[in-house]
Amino acid sequence: MKLTSDHRRRQVLLRGRCIDRIVGRYTLACLTDAGTATREVSAPGHVTAVRRLIIDSLSPVQVRQKADIARRIAQATSSAETL
């Protein structure tokens, strides 16, 4: 994946291949300290862009529906033993 390769080259992301007997193969990606710093610097602009491009285009009802869907997904995945 080009994006991941670029992030690894810039030393903002570590990636490891993992094998689990239940889940199978998967990739685990972790931010380095440099990646965390980059995220913190870019976060305000990212939040502004998401609000402008996504949230502002939704009606209040759709925003509530999106929040409910996100909450249900978070609950389901946090209680799951494996994904």
pLDDT above 60 (res 82)? no
Q: What is the dihedral of CA 56, 57, 58, 63, to 10 degrees?
A: -40
Higher pLDDT, residue 63 or 36: 63
Answer whether residue 7 shows pLDDT above 90: no
How does residue 78 score in pLDDT terms, banded at 50, 70 and 90?
confident
What is the full DSSP assignment across 12-63? SEEEEEEEETTTEEEEEEEE-HHHHHHHHHHHHHHHHHHHHHTGGGS-HHHH
Residues in the chain: 83
Q: What is the largest CA-CA distance in the chain?
A: 44
Question: For 10-27, what is the mean pLDDT?
Answer: 74
Residue 61 has pLDDT above 90, yes or no: yes
Take residue 83 and report the two structure tokens written for it.
């994904």
User: 29-57 pLDDT, tens per residue?
Assistant: 788 888 888 888 989 999 999 999 999 99
Q: Spell out the domain ranges in the chain.
A: 2-79
Q: Can you tell me the mean pLDDT for 11-27? A: 75
Pairwise CA distance, residues 29 & 77, whole Å: 18
